[in-house]
Structure 1
Amino acid sequence: MSDHQELWDLLDDFEFCMATTHDGETMRSRPMAPRVDKEAGVIRFLVENAAPMAVQLQQDQDVLLAFIAPTDRNFISISGTATISQDRGLIKQLWNKAADAWFVGGPENASVVAVTVSPSYAEFWDGTSSTIKTMWEMAKARAKDRKPDLTERKKIQM
Protein backbone atom coordinates (compact mmCIF):
# COMPACT_ATOMS: atom_id res chain seq x y z
CA MET A 1 0.00 0.00 0.00
CA SER A 2 1.34 3.42 -0.90
CA ASP A 3 1.92 6.10 1.74
CA HIS A 4 -0.81 8.21 0.12
CA GLN A 5 -3.35 5.37 0.35
CA GLU A 6 -2.32 4.64 3.94
CA LEU A 7 -2.86 8.29 4.87
CA TRP A 8 -6.34 8.45 3.31
CA ASP A 9 -7.27 5.13 4.95
CA LEU A 10 -6.15 6.41 8.37
CA LEU A 11 -8.25 9.57 7.91
CA ASP A 12 -11.40 7.42 7.79
CA ASP A 13 -11.02 6.76 11.53
CA PHE A 14 -11.22 10.40 12.66
CA GLU A 15 -14.50 12.11 13.54
CA PHE A 16 -12.85 15.39 14.53
CA CYS A 17 -9.77 17.45 13.86
CA MET A 18 -8.35 20.79 14.92
CA ALA A 19 -8.22 23.33 12.09
CA THR A 20 -5.63 26.09 12.48
CA THR A 21 -5.72 29.36 10.54
CA HIS A 22 -3.83 32.65 10.63
CA ASP A 23 -5.51 35.38 12.66
CA GLY A 24 -3.36 38.41 12.01
CA GLU A 25 -0.05 37.89 13.79
CA THR A 26 -1.23 34.81 15.66
CA MET A 27 -2.81 31.46 14.86
CA ARG A 28 -6.14 30.01 15.98
CA SER A 29 -7.35 26.45 16.19
CA ARG A 30 -10.86 25.15 16.52
CA PRO A 31 -12.46 21.70 16.42
CA MET A 32 -14.07 20.67 13.14
CA ALA A 33 -15.92 17.62 11.84
CA PRO A 34 -14.05 16.73 8.63
CA ARG A 35 -15.59 14.95 5.68
CA VAL A 36 -12.85 13.11 3.81
CA ASP A 37 -13.24 12.71 0.05
CA LYS A 38 -10.56 10.19 -0.95
CA GLU A 39 -11.39 10.27 -4.65
CA ALA A 40 -11.10 14.05 -4.89
CA GLY A 41 -8.13 14.08 -2.49
CA VAL A 42 -9.67 16.79 -0.28
CA ILE A 43 -11.08 17.30 3.19
CA ARG A 44 -14.23 19.34 3.67
CA PHE A 45 -16.32 20.77 6.49
CA LEU A 46 -19.11 23.24 7.05
CA VAL A 47 -18.82 26.61 8.81
CA GLU A 48 -20.93 29.70 9.29
CA ASN A 49 -20.07 32.27 6.63
CA ALA A 50 -19.52 34.95 9.31
CA ALA A 51 -17.48 32.69 11.62
CA PRO A 52 -13.95 33.87 12.40
CA MET A 53 -12.53 30.87 10.54
CA ALA A 54 -14.31 31.80 7.29
CA VAL A 55 -13.19 35.41 7.62
CA GLN A 56 -9.59 34.35 8.29
CA LEU A 57 -9.56 31.99 5.30
CA GLN A 58 -10.69 34.81 3.03
CA GLN A 59 -7.54 36.70 4.07
CA ASP A 60 -5.10 33.76 4.16
CA GLN A 61 -5.94 30.36 2.64
CA ASP A 62 -3.19 28.45 4.48
CA VAL A 63 -4.59 25.91 6.92
CA LEU A 64 -3.27 23.14 9.13
CA LEU A 65 -5.44 20.20 10.15
CA ALA A 66 -4.38 18.12 13.16
CA PHE A 67 -5.98 14.72 13.73
CA ILE A 68 -5.36 12.95 17.04
CA ALA A 69 -6.42 9.47 18.13
CA PRO A 70 -4.40 8.89 21.32
CA THR A 71 -5.93 5.50 22.12
CA ASP A 72 -4.71 4.16 18.76
CA ARG A 73 -1.55 6.29 18.85
CA ASN A 74 -2.41 7.66 15.41
CA PHE A 75 -1.60 11.28 14.63
CA ILE A 76 -1.90 13.19 11.36
CA SER A 77 -0.86 16.72 10.45
CA ILE A 78 -1.98 18.09 7.08
CA SER A 79 -0.93 21.43 5.61
CA GLY A 80 -2.88 22.80 2.70
CA THR A 81 -4.92 25.57 1.18
CA ALA A 82 -8.59 26.14 1.79
CA THR A 83 -11.31 27.47 -0.45
CA ILE A 84 -14.79 28.57 0.56
CA SER A 85 -17.86 27.67 -1.47
CA GLN A 86 -21.51 28.67 -1.20
CA ASP A 87 -22.50 25.85 -3.60
CA ARG A 88 -25.80 24.58 -2.14
CA GLY A 89 -25.35 21.20 -3.84
CA LEU A 90 -22.01 20.65 -2.11
CA ILE A 91 -23.42 21.87 1.20
CA LYS A 92 -26.36 19.44 0.90
CA GLN A 93 -23.90 16.63 0.14
CA LEU A 94 -21.92 17.42 3.33
CA TRP A 95 -25.02 17.93 5.50
CA ASN A 96 -25.76 15.35 8.22
CA LYS A 97 -27.51 15.12 11.59
CA ALA A 98 -24.61 16.80 13.38
CA ALA A 99 -24.92 19.77 11.01
CA ASP A 100 -28.60 20.02 11.99
CA ALA A 101 -27.49 20.51 15.58
CA TRP A 102 -24.92 23.21 14.75
CA PHE A 103 -26.57 25.20 11.97
CA VAL A 104 -30.08 26.64 12.01
CA GLY A 105 -32.20 26.44 8.88
CA GLY A 106 -30.88 23.34 7.15
CA PRO A 107 -28.56 23.13 4.14
CA GLU A 108 -30.42 25.92 2.39
CA ASN A 109 -29.30 28.35 5.12
CA ALA A 110 -27.39 31.07 3.27
CA SER A 111 -25.00 31.60 6.20
CA VAL A 112 -23.49 28.10 5.91
CA VAL A 113 -20.53 27.58 3.57
CA ALA A 114 -18.36 24.62 2.66
CA VAL A 115 -14.62 24.76 3.26
CA THR A 116 -12.50 22.51 1.05
CA VAL A 117 -8.91 21.82 2.08
CA SER A 118 -6.51 20.68 -0.64
CA PRO A 119 -3.54 19.06 1.11
CA SER A 120 -0.04 20.01 0.03
CA TYR A 121 1.93 18.21 2.74
CA ALA A 122 1.11 15.54 5.30
CA GLU A 123 2.93 13.90 8.13
CA PHE A 124 1.54 10.98 10.08
CA TRP A 125 2.41 8.65 12.85
CA ASP A 126 0.77 5.23 12.67
CA GLY A 127 0.80 3.55 16.06
CA THR A 128 -1.20 0.46 15.18
CA SER A 129 1.20 -1.89 16.92
CA SER A 130 -0.17 -4.32 19.49
CA THR A 131 -0.19 -3.76 23.25
CA ILE A 132 2.44 -6.48 23.66
CA LYS A 133 4.74 -4.79 21.13
CA THR A 134 4.16 -1.43 22.86
CA MET A 135 5.10 -2.88 26.25
CA TRP A 136 8.20 -4.50 24.70
CA GLU A 137 9.28 -1.21 23.08
CA MET A 138 8.76 0.66 26.38
CA ALA A 139 10.88 -1.90 28.25
CA LYS A 140 13.65 -1.77 25.61
CA ALA A 141 13.67 2.01 25.69
CA ARG A 142 13.95 2.12 29.46
CA ALA A 143 16.74 -0.48 29.49
CA LYS A 144 18.70 1.43 26.83
CA ASP A 145 17.87 4.91 28.19
CA ARG A 146 16.23 6.06 24.96
CA LYS A 147 12.79 6.98 23.69
CA PRO A 148 10.46 4.13 22.71
CA ASP A 149 9.70 3.57 19.05
CA LEU A 150 5.91 3.26 19.18
CA THR A 151 4.81 4.66 15.85
CA GLU A 152 5.82 4.63 12.24
CA ARG A 153 6.34 8.20 11.01
CA LYS A 154 5.90 9.18 7.37
CA LYS A 155 6.09 12.46 5.47
CA ILE A 156 4.22 12.94 2.20
CA GLN A 157 4.41 15.70 -0.39
CA MET A 158 0.86 15.74 -1.70
Structure 2
Amino acid sequence: MTKRREQETDLTPTEATDRVWELAKQIDICMFVTWDGEYNRARPLSARVQRDENAIYFLVNNDGAKNKQLSKYPKVTLAWSDSSHYKYVTISGSAAVTNDRQKITELWEKTDGAWWENADDPEIRLITVKPDEGELWDSPGLVVATAKMVFAAVTGAKPEVGDNAKVDL
Protein backbone atom coordinates (compact mmCIF):
# COMPACT_ATOMS: atom_id res chain seq x y z
CA MET A 1 0.00 0.00 0.00
CA THR A 2 1.69 3.13 -1.20
CA LYS A 3 0.64 6.57 -2.25
CA ARG A 4 0.01 6.49 -5.97
CA ARG A 5 -0.22 10.19 -6.86
CA GLU A 6 -0.57 13.64 -5.33
CA GLN A 7 -3.29 13.48 -2.72
CA GLU A 8 -5.33 15.92 -0.74
CA THR A 9 -5.44 14.15 2.58
CA ASP A 10 -3.81 13.76 5.95
CA LEU A 11 -4.67 10.06 5.91
CA THR A 12 -1.83 7.57 5.85
CA PRO A 13 -1.94 5.04 3.00
CA THR A 14 -3.17 2.42 5.50
CA GLU A 15 -5.92 4.72 6.77
CA ALA A 16 -6.96 5.56 3.20
CA THR A 17 -7.07 1.87 2.29
CA ASP A 18 -9.18 1.14 5.37
CA ARG A 19 -11.54 3.96 4.44
CA VAL A 20 -11.91 2.79 0.81
CA TRP A 21 -13.00 -0.66 2.00
CA GLU A 22 -15.24 0.79 4.73
CA LEU A 23 -17.09 3.17 2.40
CA ALA A 24 -17.56 0.50 -0.28
CA LYS A 25 -19.15 -1.78 2.29
CA GLN A 26 -21.32 0.98 3.82
CA ILE A 27 -22.70 2.36 0.56
CA ASP A 28 -23.44 -1.12 -0.92
CA ILE A 29 -24.92 -0.35 -4.36
CA CYS A 30 -22.27 0.59 -6.89
CA MET A 31 -22.12 1.30 -10.58
CA PHE A 32 -20.39 -1.72 -12.11
CA VAL A 33 -18.54 -0.47 -15.20
CA THR A 34 -17.35 -2.78 -17.98
CA TRP A 35 -15.94 -2.24 -21.47
CA ASP A 36 -17.68 -3.78 -24.46
CA GLY A 37 -14.94 -2.98 -26.99
CA GLU A 38 -16.57 0.28 -28.02
CA TYR A 39 -18.14 1.90 -24.95
CA ASN A 40 -18.01 1.78 -21.18
CA ARG A 41 -21.19 0.19 -19.83
CA ALA A 42 -22.44 0.83 -16.30
CA ARG A 43 -25.20 -0.75 -14.27
CA PRO A 44 -26.12 -0.65 -10.56
CA LEU A 45 -25.32 -3.81 -8.60
CA SER A 46 -25.31 -4.75 -4.93
CA ALA A 47 -21.73 -5.33 -3.82
CA ARG A 48 -20.77 -7.99 -1.28
CA VAL A 49 -17.56 -6.46 0.01
CA GLN A 50 -15.25 -8.99 1.69
CA ARG A 51 -12.01 -7.26 2.58
CA ASP A 52 -10.66 -10.31 4.41
CA GLU A 53 -10.86 -12.19 1.08
CA ASN A 54 -9.57 -9.19 -0.92
CA ALA A 55 -12.67 -9.54 -3.07
CA ILE A 56 -15.95 -7.90 -3.99
CA TYR A 57 -18.72 -10.25 -5.07
CA PHE A 58 -21.86 -9.77 -7.15
CA LEU A 59 -24.73 -12.15 -7.83
CA VAL A 60 -25.89 -11.80 -11.45
CA ASN A 61 -27.94 -13.59 -14.08
CA ASN A 62 -26.21 -16.15 -16.27
CA ASP A 63 -27.33 -14.45 -19.49
CA GLY A 64 -26.21 -10.87 -18.72
CA ALA A 65 -24.26 -8.90 -21.35
CA LYS A 66 -21.72 -7.99 -18.69
CA ASN A 67 -20.72 -11.66 -18.40
CA LYS A 68 -19.73 -11.77 -22.09
CA GLN A 69 -17.91 -8.44 -21.76
CA LEU A 70 -15.91 -9.74 -18.80
CA SER A 71 -14.81 -12.84 -20.67
CA LYS A 72 -13.08 -10.59 -23.22
CA TYR A 73 -12.31 -7.49 -21.12
CA PRO A 74 -11.94 -8.47 -17.43
CA LYS A 75 -10.86 -5.04 -16.12
CA VAL A 76 -13.69 -3.20 -14.34
CA THR A 77 -14.33 -0.09 -12.30
CA LEU A 78 -16.77 0.00 -9.42
CA ALA A 79 -18.11 3.39 -8.31
CA TRP A 80 -20.00 4.03 -5.08
CA SER A 81 -21.74 7.34 -4.36
CA ASP A 82 -23.27 8.66 -1.17
CA SER A 83 -24.01 12.12 -2.53
CA SER A 84 -26.10 13.16 0.47
CA HIS A 85 -22.94 12.94 2.60
CA TYR A 86 -20.36 13.81 -0.10
CA LYS A 87 -18.66 10.40 0.10
CA TYR A 88 -17.47 8.63 -3.03
CA VAL A 89 -15.27 5.60 -3.75
CA THR A 90 -13.97 3.89 -6.86
CA ILE A 91 -12.23 0.54 -7.02
CA SER A 92 -10.66 -0.90 -10.16
CA GLY A 93 -9.58 -4.47 -10.69
CA SER A 94 -10.07 -7.71 -12.56
CA ALA A 95 -13.37 -9.57 -12.64
CA ALA A 96 -14.30 -13.17 -13.39
CA VAL A 97 -17.67 -14.89 -13.75
CA THR A 98 -18.05 -18.34 -12.17
CA ASN A 99 -20.73 -20.79 -11.16
CA ASP A 100 -19.40 -21.28 -7.61
CA ARG A 101 -22.58 -22.65 -6.01
CA GLN A 102 -21.04 -22.78 -2.52
CA LYS A 103 -20.07 -19.09 -2.61
CA ILE A 104 -23.43 -18.11 -4.13
CA THR A 105 -25.19 -19.86 -1.23
CA GLU A 106 -22.85 -18.22 1.28
CA LEU A 107 -23.53 -14.74 -0.14
CA TRP A 108 -27.30 -15.19 -0.59
CA GLU A 109 -29.39 -12.53 1.18
CA LYS A 110 -33.13 -12.36 1.66
CA THR A 111 -33.35 -9.40 -0.74
CA ASP A 112 -31.92 -11.57 -3.54
CA GLY A 113 -35.34 -13.24 -3.55
CA ALA A 114 -36.55 -10.25 -5.56
CA TRP A 115 -34.49 -11.55 -8.50
CA TRP A 116 -34.31 -15.31 -7.99
CA GLU A 117 -36.41 -17.88 -6.18
CA ASN A 118 -33.56 -19.09 -3.98
CA ALA A 119 -29.78 -19.58 -3.91
CA ASP A 120 -30.15 -22.82 -5.88
CA ASP A 121 -31.56 -21.02 -8.94
CA PRO A 122 -29.44 -22.34 -11.86
CA GLU A 123 -29.48 -18.90 -13.54
CA ILE A 124 -27.40 -17.22 -10.80
CA ARG A 125 -23.73 -16.59 -11.46
CA LEU A 126 -21.03 -15.07 -9.31
CA ILE A 127 -18.80 -12.20 -10.38
CA THR A 128 -15.66 -11.87 -8.28
CA VAL A 129 -13.65 -8.66 -8.48
CA LYS A 130 -10.07 -8.66 -7.20
CA PRO A 131 -9.17 -5.00 -6.56
CA ASP A 132 -5.96 -3.41 -7.84
CA GLU A 133 -6.48 0.18 -6.73
CA GLY A 134 -8.98 2.43 -5.03
CA GLU A 135 -9.72 6.10 -4.67
CA LEU A 136 -11.89 7.97 -2.22
CA TRP A 137 -13.41 11.39 -1.86
CA ASP A 138 -14.57 11.73 1.72
CA SER A 139 -15.96 14.93 3.18
CA PRO A 140 -17.10 15.71 6.70
CA GLY A 141 -20.70 15.99 5.44
CA LEU A 142 -23.04 18.33 3.63
CA VAL A 143 -23.30 21.10 6.24
CA VAL A 144 -19.57 21.34 6.90
CA ALA A 145 -18.65 21.04 3.20
CA THR A 146 -21.20 23.70 2.26
CA ALA A 147 -19.91 26.06 4.96
CA LYS A 148 -16.32 25.58 3.77
CA MET A 149 -17.33 26.22 0.14
CA VAL A 150 -19.19 29.41 1.11
CA PHE A 151 -16.20 30.57 3.16
CA ALA A 152 -13.88 29.84 0.21
CA ALA A 153 -16.16 31.73 -2.18
CA VAL A 154 -16.18 34.77 0.11
CA THR A 155 -12.43 34.73 0.84
CA GLY A 156 -11.20 33.52 -2.55
CA ALA A 157 -9.40 30.58 -0.90
CA LYS A 158 -9.58 27.02 -2.17
CA PRO A 159 -12.10 25.01 -0.10
CA GLU A 160 -10.80 22.09 1.93
CA VAL A 161 -13.87 19.87 1.86
CA GLY A 162 -12.40 16.50 2.76
CA ASP A 163 -9.96 13.76 1.88
CA ASN A 164 -8.98 12.54 -1.57
CA ALA A 165 -6.62 9.58 -1.68
CA LYS A 166 -5.53 6.95 -4.21
CA VAL A 167 -4.12 3.65 -2.97
CA ASP A 168 -3.06 0.24 -4.21
CA LEU A 169 -5.32 -2.49 -2.84
TM-score w.r.t. structure 1 length?
Answer: 0.90
Quick one: structure 1 residues 102 and 143, their matched pair in 2 at CA, closer, same or farther if it must change by over 3 Å?
same
Aligned length: 156
Residue in 2 that maps onto 1:126? 138
2:73 maps to which of 60, 64, 70: 60
Unaligned runs of 5+ in 2: 1-13
Once residues 19 and 103 of structure 2 are traced to their aligned partners in structure 1, the CA distance between those partners, rounded to angstroms, is 26
Match of 1:39 among 49, 52, 57: 52
Alpha-carbon contact 2:25-2:47 (below 8 Å) kept: no
Q: Residue 84 of structure 2 contacts residue 142 of structure 2 at CA under 8 Å; is this kept in 1?
A: no
Partner residue, 2:147: 136
SS of the residue 1:45 aligns to: strand
Residue of structure 2 equivalent to 1:154 = 165
| Deviation, structure 1 residue 146 | 5.2
2: CA distance between counterparts of 1:26 and 1:136? 38
Once superposed, what is the RMSD of the aligned Cα atoms?
A: 1.7
**TM-score of the pair, normalised by structure 2:** 0.85
Structure 1 position 147, deviation (Å): 4.9
The 5 A counterparts of 1:15-94 are: 15-94=28-107
| 2:114 equivalent in structure 1 | 101
* Alpha-carbon shift at residue 48 of structure 1 (Å): 0.7
Letter in 1 for 2:61: E
Q: 1:129 Cα deviation (Å)?
A: 4.5
Q: Please state how far the C-alpha of 1:139 moved relative to its aligned partner.
A: 2.4
Alignment identity in percent? 29
The 4+ residue runs of structure 1 with deviation greater than 3 A are 144-147
Q: Distance in 1 between matches of 2:82 and 2:111?
A: 20
Residue 124 of structure 2 is matched in structure 1 by 112
- Residue 81 to residue 141, structure 1, CA distance change in 2 (3 Å): same
Go from structure 1 to structure 2 and tell me whether the alpha carbon gap of 1:138 and 1:61 turns closer, same or farther (over 3 Å shift): same
Counterpart CA distance in 2 for 1:27 and 1:118 is 19
User: Relative to structure 1, is the Cα distance of residues 138 and 32 closer, same or farther in structure 2, using a 3 angstrom cutoff?
Assistant: same
What SS does the aligned partner of 1:118 have?
Answer: strand
Consecutive unaligned residues in structure 1, runs of 5 or more = none
SS of equivalent residue, structure 1 residue 148? coil
Q: Which amino acid aligns with 2:154?
A: A
Residue by residue over 1:86-106, the C-alpha shift from the partner in whole angstroms, topping out at 9 and shown as x without a partner, is 011100011112211112x42
